[in-house]
Structure 1
Amino acid sequence: MNQSNNNNLNEPQKRKYVLSRRLDRAFLELYNIYAFVARFFKEVFLPPYEFKEIIKQCYEVGVRSLPLVSVTAFIIGIVFTNQSRPSLADFGATALLPALISVAIIRAIGPLVTAIITSGRVGSSIGAEIGSMRVTEQIDAMEVSATNPFKFLVVSRVLATTFMIPALTMYTTLLALLGGYLNVHQNEQTTLITFFSQVFEAITFLDIVASSVKSVLFGFTIGMVGCYKGYNSSKGTEGVGKAANTSVVTAMFLIFVEELLVMQVINAVRGI
């Protein structure tokens, strides 16, 4: 019936009809996202508490991400130092290299790189895992057996990413600074104590707070996006692949948006 009515419309009417349908789907999706997030904040405070599953997911998110995060962070510290030295050398300011490395890594590079790496690894894994459980009706079976699948699957994973991304960010920052120190020491013969003295002189308590806030937001976003895409996936194996892919893309986009917003707020606070 809708198809026949659509065929009777002229071209402008068809465009309006298509636009209207897209807007309806967009607002429905926004409502579904709101309901999903609201349900999380409701379920997280209600018993039973899945401590074993939370610990398991913390291990999956944190410990299993260490090798990739370690190598990436160390290389980033060396590369960033190498790229920054020529610019400072032109002004005879290579002594400021430790301070520059500190500000760049702690304020931006550490949280952002950690979030992007874990988004690619953890976000896709969560989306694919929960998506496969949805299309194979395992989630429906959990509901029939009086188990709360939302609390067991979603709450545990979102809490794990929210807890572990800040911890991984601190680890990433430390390794990146060590990589920068090795490069500085090789070229300027700077001692470890001198390097880290200049590092901590260049940052403020507000920088540490901003980095921590961003890490928590990034972790929550990665977990929530992966769980939402997987929990609402459909169309069999095609839906599982789409859930894994869109989890990564959407999470990365939101991470950059959050980075921009938090940076604006912190700069406003810093200017007060």
Structure 2
Amino acid sequence: MNTTHEHAPNLFARIGIRTLAVLGEMGAMFLFLLHGLWHIFTSPKQLRKIVYQMYFIGSKSLLVICLIGLFTGMVLGLQGYYTLIKFGSEGLLGTAVALSLIRELGPVLTAIMVTGRAGSSMAAEIGVMRITDQIDALEVMDINPISYLVSPRIAASILCFPLLTAVFDVIGIIGGYLTGVAMLGINSGIYFYRIESSVVMSDVAEGFTKALLFGVIVATVSCYQGYYTHMRKDGVGPEGVSNSTTSAVVMSCVLILVTDYIVTSFLL
């Protein structure tokens, strides 16, 4: 009996310690984000670095975004058709595909794919710079590492994520058209008419709002994990970089889904 009573406080203490640690890290990431945003506007010669990061985050992700968008739209068209036909409403396929992509799947899948391609790369690159003392060298040369490494990536993510989401949505709608119209025989005029009549500006604004938030989340988490690789307790050196990259991808994906739920709850 005494053993049981002794273990209970220890369990709650561990939960409390872990919770405080998570909250502390979230607060540190928020301050890290504010620091990065500040240097976007106060540091000189940011434009060239931002353009390069837009090329890396946006242009290099375009192919995978188009592929995922196309097949997502085709799957939505296929599943939506066989669901709607049970109710005699297959003419609403355009509405189902467009709203699903624009409000939910477009921004979420775009953010997750860019996290896997660009977010992991950001965390690994900055992490390697940390363990090889390149960030310390920047400080010695009186170059602010946040301004040089983090701010351009945050700015580029804020600009690229909505654009990539828009591309994903358009390609996905085309994928739904290929399945619903070309393969299953739905009238093409009805497909596009339903999209035009059902999609309103608030739907597009909701998708872009999510994309902006996801861009901030991915850039902040990835850069933060890489920047503080040397302070990790689960590994040092290359192992620390590996763990930082894994943590960046996992944490970004979790925060994307949590943020998606919160934003959807407020905007519905």
Q: Same fold (TM over 0.5)?
A: yes
CA distance in structure 2 between the aligned counterparts of 1:247 and 1:46, rounded to whole angstroms: 27
Q: Is the partner of 1:151 in helix, strand or coil?
A: helix
| 1:240 aligns to 2:236 (yes or no) | no
CA distance in structure 2 between the aligned counterparts of 1:20 and 1:183, rounded to whole angstroms: 51
| 1:157 aligns to 2:157 (yes or no) | no
1:230 alignment counterpart: 226
| 1:190 aligns to 2:187 (yes or no) | yes
State how 1:1-272 maps to structure 2 within 5 Å. Answer: 22=18, 25-186=21-182, 187-191=184-188, 193-234=189-230, 235-267=236-268
Q: Is the partner of 2:229 in helix, strand or coil?
A: coil
Distance change >3 Å, CA 27–CA 262, structure 1 → 2? closer
How many equivalent residue pairs?
257
**Identical aligned pairs, as a percentage?**
30
Q: Is the partner of 2:212 in helix, strand or coil?
A: helix
Distance change >3 Å, CA 75–CA 27, structure 1 → 2? closer
CA distance in structure 1 between the aligned counterparts of 2:257 and 2:152, rounded to whole angstroms: 25
TM-score normalized by the length of structure 1? 0.88
Shift of 1:199: 0.8
Q: Is the partner of 2:41 in helix, strand or coil?
A: coil
**Alignment-mate amino acid for residue 220 of structure 2:** M
Distance change >3 Å, CA 194–CA 131, structure 1 → 2? same
CA distance in structure 2 between the aligned counterparts of 1:15 and 1:260, rounded to whole angstroms: 30
**Alignment-mate amino acid for residue 59 of structure 1:** Y
CA distance in structure 1 between the aligned counterparts of 2:251 and 2:9, rounded to whole angstroms: 32
4+ runs deviating over 3 angstroms: 10-28
Residue by residue over 1:233-258, the C-alpha shift from the partner in whole angstroms, topping out at 9 and shown as x without a partner, is 12111110011111110001110111
2:233 alignment counterpart: none
**Alignment-mate amino acid for residue 107 of structure 1:** R
**Alignment-mate amino acid for residue 236 of structure 1:** G
Shift of 1:47: 2.5
CA distance in structure 1 between the aligned counterparts of 2:242 and 2:255, rounded to whole angstroms: 20
Shift of 1:96: 1.0
CA distance in structure 2 between the aligned counterparts of 1:107 and 1:62, rounded to whole angstroms: 21
Shift of 1:94: 0.8
The answer to whether the 8 A contact 1:102-1:200 is kept is no
Q: Which runs of 5+ in 1 are unaligned?
A: 1-9, 268-272
Shift of 1:41: 2.9
Q: Which runs of 5+ in 2 are unaligned?
A: 1-5, 231-235
**Alignment-mate amino acid for residue 250 of structure 2:** V
CA distance in structure 2 between the aligned counterparts of 1:114 and 1:213, rounded to whole angstroms: 13
**Alignment-mate amino acid for residue 210 of structure 1:** E
CA distance in structure 2 between the aligned counterparts of 1:136 and 1:70, rounded to whole angstroms: 36
Shift of 1:211: 0.7
Distance change >3 Å, CA 23–CA 173, structure 1 → 2? closer
Shift of 1:75: 0.6
Shift of 1:64: 0.5
Q: Is the partner of 1:188 in helix, strand or coil?
A: coil
Residue by residue over 1:31-59, the C-alpha shift from the partner in whole angstroms, topping out at 9 and shown as x without a partner, is 42232122123222212142111111100
CA distance in structure 2 between the aligned counterparts of 1:257 and 1:28, rounded to whole angstroms: 18
